[in-house]
């Protein structure tokens, strides 16, 4: 956005440019993952030197608001999802809200079926041919696809099928309505390439690198709550260990 810099102000020109760029990013003038103008373009726009623009942009890079990509330009940093490994399970809704996104979901499956995976049946302590609750959703932030999620629950959680799974948080329901304390067991991470189906769901190129997260969630007494499988996020995810 055009904005005249005050050359007579005691505030350095680079700081004025930095503040204007910050406002433009916050106001959506430059979208997440979008490229901002070049140094030459910004220098002309603000009637300042390229050195002044470079200093302003470098400060924004240091603050994590923008990032430089070799040979491509400077881009607004996308929302980065954070998850600590030394705390209890964090649901997608909670992760979205922590970075200022509005969570939503597209319900793909909500059914009663017999899990094919022996590992899933073993964790859920199912007898032969005993069914479970199967829920798969496309999770979105601000309406944009972010991750594919699939979970299996024992039949004692069949009331989950009555929830509005496109708007309601399962974790909030389990914790706040049913009073269940959730704990994670093993979490396995890997990088996978998006196949044709996943690429279509997440609106990413085929073979794009995605983060795959597998885990199990239990109650404090060891009773199984659900299996957890998520894939997506691209580069916008970080785990924190303290």
Span 207-225, pLDDT tens digits: 999 999 999 999 999 999 9
Confidence grade of residue 2 (pLDDT, cut at 50, 70, 90): low
* Beta pairing partners, 141: 103, 144
Mean pLDDT of the chain: 89
* Beta pairing partners, 140: 104, 145
Q: What is the pLDDT of residue 174?
A: 96
- Alpha-carbon distance 13 to 25, whole Å? 18
Show the domains of the chain with their CATH numbers.
13-76 (1.10.10.10), 81-240 (3.40.1410.10)
Write down the pTM of the prediction.
Answer: 0.71
Residue 139's nearest CA partner among 164, 113, 107, 176 is: 107
């Amino acid at each position: 956005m055009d904005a005249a810099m005050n050359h007579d102000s005691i505030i350095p020109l680079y700081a004025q440019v930095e503040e204007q760029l910050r406002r433009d990013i916050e106001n959506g003038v430059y979208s997440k993952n979008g490229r901002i103008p070049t140094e030459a373009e910004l220098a002309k726009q603000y009637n300042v030197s390229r050195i002044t623009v470079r200093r302003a942009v470098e400060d924004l890079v240091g603050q994590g608001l923008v990032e430089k990509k070799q040979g491509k330009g400077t881009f607004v940093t996308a929302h980065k999802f954070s998850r600590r490994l030394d705390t209890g399970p964090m649901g997608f809704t909670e992760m979205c809200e922590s970075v200022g996104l509005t969570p939503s979901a597209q319900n793909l499956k909500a059914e009663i079926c017999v899990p094919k995976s022996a590992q899933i049946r073993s964790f859920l302590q199912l007898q032969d041919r005993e069914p479970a609750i199967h829920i798969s959703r496309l999770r979105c932030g601000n309406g944009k696809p972010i991750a594919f999620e699939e979970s299996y629950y024992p039949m004692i959680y069949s009331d989950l099928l009555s929830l509005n799974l496109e708007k309601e948080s399962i974790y909030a329901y389990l914790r706040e309505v049913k009073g269940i304390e959730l704990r994670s067991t093993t979490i396995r991470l890997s990088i996978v390439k998006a196949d044709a189906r996943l690429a279509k769901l997440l609106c990413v190129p085929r073979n794009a690198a995605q983060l795959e997260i597998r885990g199990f969630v239990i109650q404090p007494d060891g009773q199984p709550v659900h299996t957890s499988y998520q894939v997506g996020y691209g580069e916008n995810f970080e785990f924190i260990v303290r």
